[in-house]
Amino acid sequence: MGRGDVLRRGAVFVSLAVLFLLAVVWNINTGSVDIPVREIWRIIFLRREIESGAVPADAAAFNIIWKLRLKRVLLSAVLGGALALSGFLLQTFFRNPIAGPFVLGISSGARMFLALVTIALGAYIPSLPVAVTVAAAFLGSMLSMLLVLAFSGRVRNMSMLLVIGIMISYICSAVTDFLINFAKEAEIVNLTHWSMGSFSGGSWRDVGVSALVVLPAALGVFLLAKPISAYALGEGYAQSLGLDVRRFRVVLIILSSVLSACVTAFAGPISFVGIAVPHILRVLLKSSKPILMIPASFLGGAVFCMVCDLIARTVLSPTELSVGTVTSALGAPVVIWLMVSRRREQSE
Amino acid sequence: MSEAYFETNGLTVGYGGRPLIRDISLSLKRGGIMTLIGPNGAGKSTILKTVTRRIPAISGDVLLGGQSLLRMRGRDLARKMAVVLTDRLRPELMTCFDVAAAGRYPYTGSFGLLSARDKSIVLDSLAQVNASNLAGADFNSVSDGERQLVLLARAIAQEPEIIVLDEPTSYLDIRHKIELLEVLRGMAKARGVTVLMSLHELDMASKVSDVMVCVGDGAVAASGPPEDVFSDELVRRLYHLERGSYSVALGSAELPRPEGQPRVFVLGGGGRGIPLYRGLQRAGVPFSAGILPENDLDLAVAGPLAAEVVTSPPFAPAGPREMEAARALISSSKAVIDAGAPAEHYPARDELLKYARTLGIPIIESLEHITEVLR
C-alpha cells in the first residue's frame, strides 16, 4: 500500500465525516420553514434551558426540530447506514456486487410478515409493540434470505441470482396484496406507509429502538472484518485459513437480516442504497477491504439516505415524495453502470 | 522411507457417506513431493478435499507429523497446511499483494492488520514465485499463469509445513507450468516444505515427484517412486487406454495406430522418423518401419504407431535376418520414405534404398506428396 492509497483513504473518510455533518445540519435547516444554523445549535444544545424558559427561543422552530426534523434525520442516518452495511454483507456473502436487501427480495419478505402480523394481531392489539414489528420483519427477512440461499446454490451466475431475488420479491408482494384484502382501513394506511418507504412518521422511540438494533449489529459486523476479509477469496480458502465457514455463514445471514429487517420495520422498503453506496465507496477507496468498507459503507449509507430524504421532502414541497423513489432514481443507474462495466470486464 | 511426515491410515473418502476410494494408506517424508495422477473422476480431488477437510473422511485417519489432522483445531491446521485450489477467483479490487497477504490470516490479530513482519513475509513469498513485480497489480488483470503463482505465494505466506495443490498446472502455458513446479521443488528441497498435489500432466508428475500415487477404479492402483511405479503399462491400465498409447520415456501420448496392411516403409532412426510416423498416423496410412536398434529413439513412437517394425540388437549392425525382414516389407510397400538417418550409424539404410530402387519402388523424403504416390 503506497502513500497515495493512504491519502486517498484518509480523504474519503474525512469527506464522509464532513458530508455527514453537513447533511445533518442541512436536513434540519431546510424545509417549509428554514431555520438558521445558529438557531439549530442553540435549540439542540440548550434544550433544557429553553424548555425551562431560561433561554428564549422561537417556539415553532423548537417544535419543528424536536418533534420532526431531528428524529427524522437521525432515523434516516441510522437506517441508511444499516441498509448500506446490509448490502455490503450480502455482496460479500454472495460474492456478487449487485446483491442487496431490496433486489434479493429480503425487504419484501419482511414486509409480507409485517402485513401478516399487523392483520392477524390487529384485531386484538390496536397498535403493535415495536418489538413485535421488528421481530416479524426479521422473520420475514430470514425466510426470504433462506429461499434465496436455497436457489443460489444452483446458479453461479450473477444475474440469475438477481432474477431469483426479484421473483421472490414478486411472490412476497403478491402474498402481501392478498393479505391486504383482509385488512381494516387503519391498517391499510400503515401497510401503505411500509410499502412506500419513508423516514417520516417515526417516533423518538422508533429512533431509539432502531439505534439499539442497528448500532450493535454494525459494531458486530466491524468486529467480523477479519473473517469477512478471509471470505473474499471464497469458502475454500476461508476454510483452509481456519475459519469455521458454516458458523460464519449463519452469523453473516443473521446480521444482514437484522439490519435490513430493522429498516423495513421502521421505514419500509428503500431500494438500491445497499448496492449503490458500497459500490461507489469501493471505487472511491479503490479497495474492498472490509476493515475500510464497513465503516465507510455505514457512513456513506447514512449520508446518502439523509440527502435522499432531503430531496424527497423538498423537491416538490409541500408534497413529499417517498424516499424510496429518490433512492431508486439515484441508485438504479449505479446498478446499471455496475452490470454494464462487469459485462465488459468479463468479455475482455 | 524414514519418519513419514504426511500419512494416511486406511483412509476411505467419498461424498455423502458413499465411499469412492477405500483404504488409502500413503506416507511421505518431510520435504517430499507426492503427486496424485489418474483419470478424471477417479477421485484425486476427493482425496485432496478430505485431506484439507473440505469434506469429512468416511473412515481412517490422516496424520501430520504424527498428529491427527482430522481432529486438529482449524487455526492450528491453518498454520501447518496451506492450499492452492482450483476455484476460479475474481476478488474485487484486490492487488496481488492483497491476495498473497490473505495467507497471513492465521497469524494476524483480531482485525487482521498486517505487521511489518507480515508484510515482509508476503513480499518474500511473492519473490519466491518470481512475482515481485506483480505486487501492485490488480489480481483480476494478470494472466492465469501469474494468478496461479500469486496463489502459490499466498500459500507460502501462510508458512505451512505442507502445501496441498489441486491441479495447479491446469490452464497454464508450458512456461508457467515449469516455473510453478520448479518453485515447488525448490521449496520442498530447500525449506523442507512437504508438497501434496494432483496433476494431469503425467510427464511432469514423473519428473517432479518423490512419490507418485495412481488413483483409478475406486482404489490406489499403485504408489511409490516414479521409477518403480510409472510405466507404459501402468498408464495404459490406469487410464483404460484401449486406443492410442503413452510413452513414459518420451512423456508423450500417441493417437491410435492406423489399421490395415502397411502401405509404406519408413527408413528412420535417431529420432528423425518421429515426425514421419506421426504424419502417417494423421494421414491414416498404415506403415512399417526399420531397421531400428532396440534402444533407438524412433522406436518409442514407431512402436505404438507402425503396423510392423524391424528391430535389431543395440550397438550392432543389422544381421541377415533383419535385412531379410526389411526387404520383405519394402517389396510389399507402395513407397519407401527416407528419413535421412546418418549413414555411419545406420549402415543398412543405403543397402535398403538400393534394394527399393532395383524394385522400382518410389523413394520420397517428405510426406508432402504422399497421397499422389499412394494413388
pLDDT at A11: 95
Asked if B188 contacts B195 with a C-beta cutoff of 8 angstroms, the reply is yes
Output the CA–CA distances (angstroms, integers) from residue A172 to A104, B87, B123, in the order listed.
Answer: 11, 35, 51
DSSP-derived 3-state class of residue B161: coil
CB contact under 8 A, B136 and A236: no
* Longest CA pairwise span in chain B (Å): 88
Residue B222 · residue B210 · CB < 8 Å: no
Candidates B54, B69, B90, B92: best to mutate against A (most CBs of A within 10 A) is B92
In contact, B262 and B255? CB cutoff 8 Å: no
The reported pLDDT for the residue numbered A134 is 86
Render each residue's pLDDT in chain B as its tens digit; 375 residues: 457 999 999 999 999 889 999 999 999 999 999 999 999 888 899 999 999 999 999 999 999 999 999 999 999 999 999 999 988 888 888 999 999 999 999 999 988 899 999 999 999 999 999 999 999 999 999 998 899 999 999 999 999 999 999 999 988 889 999 999 999 999 999 999 999 999 988 889 999 999 999 998 888 988 999 999 888 888 888 888 888 888 888 888 888 888 889 999 999 888 899 999 999 999 889 999 988 998 889 988 998 999 999 998 888 888 888 889 999 999 899 899 998 888 888 888 888 999 989 988 888 888 887 777 777
Taking the CB of residue A180, how many other CB atoms lie within 10 A of it? 16
> Cβ A288–B53 below 8 Å, yes or no?
no
Interface test with B, best of A91, A237, A297 (most B CBs within 10 A): A237
> Cell for A23?
447533511
Asked if residue B102 lies in contact with residue B154, where contact means CB atoms within 8 angstroms, the answer is yes
Q: What is the ipTM of this complex?
A: 0.84
pLDDT of res. A16: 96
Cα distance between residue B349 and residue B297, in whole Å:
17
Q: Does A288 touch chain B (CB under 8 A)?
A: yes
Could you give the number of structural domains in chain A?
1
Give me the residue spans of the domains in chain B. Answer: 4-242, 255-374
- A226/B83 touch (CB, cutoff 8 Å), yes or no: no
CA dihedral B329, B333, B339, B345 (to 10 degrees): 20
Domains B4-242 and B255-374 share a fold: yes
From CA A283, how far away is CA A287, in angstroms rounded?
Answer: 7
pLDDT at A193: 65
Q: Which of A157, A261, A167 is CA-nearest to residue A214? A: A261
Residue A194: the pLDDT is 66
Nearest chain B residue to A239 by CA: give it.
B54
B255-374, which class in CATH? alpha beta
CATH fit for domain B4-242, picks 3.40.190.10, 3.40.50.300, 3.40.1350.10, 3.30.930.10: 3.40.50.300
Long-range contacts of A242-248 (CB under 8 A, 24+ apart): A242/B73, A242/B74, A242/B75, A242/B76, A242/B77, A242/B78, A242/B105, A242/B106, A243/B74, A243/B105, A244/B74, A248/A224
Structural domain boundaries enclosing A235? 3-347
Q: What is the CATH number of the domain that holds A101?
A: 1.10.3470.10
pLDDT at residue A126, rounded to an integer: 72
User: Tell me, what's the pLDDT at A348?
Assistant: 41
Q: Which residue of B has its CA nearest to A241?
A: B78
**What was the pLDDT predicted at A32?**
81
Which residues in chain A land under pLDDT 50? Answer: 347-348
Could you say which of A241, A286, A289 has the minimum Cβ distance to residue B106? A241
Q: For testing the chain B interface, which of A90, A224, A239, A240 should be mutated: the one with the most B CBs within 10 Å?
A: A240
**B90-106 burial by CB neighbour count: b if 16+ within 10 A, else e?**
ebbbbbbbbbbbbbbbb
CB contact under 8 A, A97 and B110: no
